[in-house]
Amino acid sequence: MHPLLSLGVFWLLPLALMLEEDSPLDCVPRRSVPYHRDNAHLFREEGVFNYSTMLLREDLDLLVLGAREAVYALDLNDISKKHASVKWEVTQEQKDECRNKGKDPETECLNYIRILHKTEDNRMYVCGTNAFDPECDYMSYTDGELTLEKKAEDGKGKCPFDPFQRYASIMVDNDLYSATSMNFLGSEPILMRSSPVSIRTEFKSSWLNEPNFVSMAQMPESDKSEEGDDDKVYLFFSETAVECDCYNKLVVSRVARVCKGDLGGQRTLQKKWTSFLKTRMDCPVLESQLPYIIQDTYRWCDPQQHWKHCYFFAIFTPQSDTSDLSAVCAYRVSDISRVFEEGKYKSPVPVETSFVKWVMYSGDVPVPRPGACINNEARKAGINQTLDLPDRTLQFIKDRPLMDQAIQPIGRKPLLVRRGATFTRIIVNQVQAADGEKYHVMFIGTEEGTVLKAVNYDGEMFIIEEVQLFQPPESIKILQFSNVTGQLYAGSDYGAAQVPLATCERSLSCMDCVLARDPYCGWDKTDGKCVSVSDSQRELIQSVKAGDASLCPDADPVKPMNQFIWPGGNLKLSCPSPSNLAETSWERDNRLLTPSTRFQLLRDGLLILNASANDAGQYRCVSVERSKTDEYTSTVAEYHVTVDPKGYGRGGQPLFPQAQTDGPSVAGLQAVVALLVVGLVALLAWNFYKGHLPLPWNCGKNRAQPQGTHDKEAQSSTVTHQDAVRPALAENKPLVSGTDNNGRNNNHTGGEAAFNAAGENDAPEVSLQFIDDESEI
């Protein structure tokens, strides 16, 4: 073989494999919608921050919004309309006390509303951190007024002390289930039910080990249960893995559940859960072997179907900062409940010096099954409530609340992976598309203040759009959905926003409407509009799975616009492409225009610098978008450019419209300013072009590239130039935890070497390899 050829095979083959493997790994939003006041109804009050707790009161047409030291009752149909508000501020005395305990008076010693639930008598239960001394109260909405009853109930164990600590809560049958820390130091995590008999978790690291609580959901599992099962409450969180056979801390994602009817044990586990079982939840993202960390979940149930057909959608972010991927995984509730009902337990086994290994328990399991709810079989044996459970069962579960088998997502892989945006919250809505099929549409809030709208079409990830809701970009702290108004509600530190699920009017052409592949939208040929599928009686053009726009009528020809240049002048011809997945190119007099220092391709147009008379002609901006079925070309803009030899700006179109005024007295000054600005823009553009500065829109396709890369991009339409390079960079970086390990555990040389070797190529799979059986020790 020719030496160069073999070199080529050796170097290019892995690259090609990497590209191929990576192309489905993450995806880019097709459309990016920058911040605009009209994107959403916004609510915010001057001087009030942290709008991060919400309660939908569809019965009252209200969105109840909890912020720092205040609660608002907003119009559910338009949250910019405030109906009522109530302040709940800490007193100076409380603030002083909090400060004396070493907390920051400006950030920590305030009352952050954390819990808002509806009670059975139509009032609301509300808790706040109350200057590191959590307190709860009842609140009612009557005659257009929000009133706090000033009951001053102790909020310990219900609401966190620390406003920066994560927590979860849910109200079921008027009982509050809360997962938070119950002391000032934040070192006593519990899952608690506040009821006449309060039940909580044991303080043991095998139960909860430095957890970060994420969310809770209930499941009506007694419904049509042949076994006479009880309803359950699920808790999602992440924690340091006790079972990890590794030297450094490893965080894993968990789902735990308890039975609603649990009353605790008689002697063992008195006033503690007898039904607390937990297990690991996996969301395997190809790039990393370190487990991803759960951040939020959404319970999705078809109202017409049994609970066994419900799903949990969950978002995950990486555990180390070597990766900037976020992912969504979906789980069947039936898969989770099967593991708890039939799965094996993990059991601690002491080995060597004070070291405990967690292995699968293969001994006898007591009856009734530890952690199970009271069911018909138990009742038959005379056990009517958890208080009747035998000590053997209780002692077993007290020592072994962890299941052996982890929960795998549907399809054993994520539904969506996105690079460069950190997911914070998720809502899922089901919609019936024009093809009669139902699709799950994911709405995902990010740390960058955007909401993504995404679908997984038979394994293909597709992000329809990304909308900037808040300016400045503020992390989305909460997302809620009302099926009564069909609207999404988002909260951030800065304010709250309300957005519709479908914004079809963003597509102005049939091709854009169809290539958007939005199951909510279709093209109405009669009206020539992109409209909502549910609002239309007509047959619409839509092709969500294939993106087949061939049925679209021919677009109206673009009307050419007149533009003037003058020798030595500059001109920008704009061409706003509707899609990040499209490539735009320019033609002059029907010939492809080659970018050069004088003709610069911008993301949204063409910049002609230092024009000459030869630059006159017919300019056309053409956008090419590939879908699964075909390649679609459309003319976005067309310009008729002529030379105006006399004028500096007279009748011509300078780069910046605001510099264009006819007043002769300011013309000279304007010319100078315009020249300066043009120079600056040219410098910037040159830098972008040369790659000295990162392009801010680089999450999408980098279309400011000079020619030559187009062919490569054609082959991997979902991988941008940058995306293809980054995983390689990330993998060469040593793992943070790996280096940490070096310092701390010098005595475990053998294991450490193995761990580091694995860590080198980002695959410390060791960390999750548990010994499968007791017999292996």
Ligand X SMILES: *[C@@H]1O[C@H](CO)[C@@H](O)[C@H](O)[C@H]1NC(C)=O
What is the binding site for ligand X (CB under 6 A)?
49-50, 112, 163-164, 303, 382, 384, 388, 483-484, 493, 568, 610, 612
CA distances in angstroms from 770 to 245, 406, 702, 776, listed in the order given: 6, 11, 43, 10
Q: 630 is written with which tokens?
A: 């075909």
Q: At its nearest, how many Å lie between ligand X and the CB of residue 271?
A: 20
Cβ proximity to ligand X, 303 vs 750, nearer residue? 303
Other residues' Cβ atoms within 10 Å of the Cβ of residue 148:
16
DSSP state letters, 607-663: EE-S--GGG-EEEEEEEEEE-SS-EEEEEEEEEEEEE-SS-SSSSS--S-GGG----
Cβ proximity to ligand X, 495 vs 649, nearer residue? 495
Q: At its nearest, how many Å lie between ligand X and the CB of residue 59?
A: 12
Cβ proximity to ligand X, 44 vs 260, nearer residue? 44
Q: At its nearest, how many Å lie between ligand X and the CB of residue 390?
A: 12
Cβ proximity to ligand X, 145 vs 223, nearer residue? 223
Q: At its nearest, how many Å lie between ligand X and the CB of residue 743?
A: 31
Q: Return d(Cα 388, Cα 294) in angstroms, integer.
A: 36
Instruction: Please list, in sequence order, all residues whose beta carbon lies within 8 angstroms of the beta carbon of residue 422, skipping any fewer than 6 positions away.
Output: 317, 324, 326, 446, 447, 448
Q: 329 is written with which tokens?
A: 């995984």
Looking at residue 44, its amino acid is: R
Cβ proximity to ligand X, 117 vs 726, nearer residue? 117
Q: At its nearest, how many Å lie between ligand X and the CB of residue 177?
A: 18
Cβ proximity to ligand X, 384 vs 739, nearer residue? 384
DSSP secondary structure code for residue 434 in this structure: T
Q: At its nearest, how many Å lie between ligand X and the CB of residue 164?
A: 5
CA-closest candidate to residue 236, choices 252, 250, 249, 223: 252
Q: At its nearest, how many Å lie between ligand X and the CB of residue 678?
A: 10
Strands 251-259, 277-281: pairing kind? antiparallel
Q: At its nearest, how many Å lie between ligand X and the CB of residue 387?
A: 9
DSSP secondary structure code for residue 89 in this structure: P
Q: Return d(Cα 144, Cα 131) in angstroms, integer.
A: 29
Looking at residue 286, its amino acid is: L
Q: At its nearest, how many Å lie between ligand X and the CB of residue 190?
A: 21
Looking at residue 657, its amino acid is: P
CA-closest candidate to residue 601, choices 717, 702, 713, 718: 702
Cβ proximity to ligand X, 403 vs 678, nearer residue? 678
Cβ proximity to ligand X, 18 vs 48, nearer residue? 48
Cβ proximity to ligand X, 24 vs 186, nearer residue? 186
Cβ proximity to ligand X, 30 vs 68, nearer residue? 68
Q: 511 is written with which tokens?
A: 């091709």
Cβ proximity of 519 and 533 under 8 Å:
yes
Q: At its nearest, how many Å lie between ligand X and the CB of residue 388?
A: 5
End-to-end CA separation in angstroms for the chain: 51
Q: Return d(Cα 362, Cα 345) in angstroms, integer.
A: 8
Q: 59 is written with which tokens?
A: 């019965």
Cβ proximity to ligand X, 229 vs 474, nearer residue? 474
Cβ proximity to ligand X, 209 vs 612, nearer residue? 612
Q: At its nearest, how many Å lie between ligand X and the CB of residue 168?
A: 16
Q: Return d(Cα 665, Cα 696) in angstroms, integer.
A: 38
Torsion of CA 384, 390, 392, 395, to 10 degrees: 80
Q: At its nearest, how many Å lie between ligand X and the CB of residue 300?
A: 10
CA-closest candidate to residue 421, choices 326, 281, 295, 315: 326
Cβ proximity to ligand X, 196 vs 382, nearer residue? 382
Q: Return d(Cα 621, Cα 606) in angstroms, integer.
A: 9
Q: Return d(Cα 439, Cα 737) in angstroms, integer.
A: 39
Cβ proximity to ligand X, 386 vs 408, nearer residue? 386
Position of minimal CB gap to ligand X: 493
CA-closest candidate to residue 508, choices 449, 558, 446, 470: 558
Looking at residue 534, its amino acid is: S
Q: Half-sphere exposure of residue 464, counting CA atoms within 13 Å on the CB side?
A: 30
3-state SS, residue 92: helix
Q: Return d(Cα 762, Cα 339) in angstroms, integer.
A: 30
Q: At its nearest, how many Å lie between ligand X and the CB of residue 267?
A: 16
Other residues' Cβ atoms within 10 Å of the Cβ of residue 425:
23
Q: At its nearest, how many Å lie between ligand X and the CB of residue 427?
A: 12
Q: Return d(Cα 43, Cα 77) in angstroms, integer.
A: 12
Cβ proximity to ligand X, 112 vs 292, nearer residue? 112
- Continuous segment of H or E residues that includes residue 450: strand 450-457
Q: At its nearest, how many Å lie between ligand X and the CB of residue 353?
A: 42
Q: Return d(Cα 172, Cα 125) in angstroms, integer.
A: 12
Cβ proximity of 365 and 358 under 8 Å:
no
Q: At its nearest, how many Å lie between ligand X and the CB of residue 103?
A: 12
Cβ proximity to ligand X, 470 vs 639, nearer residue? 470
Q: 744 is written with which tokens?
A: 């701390």
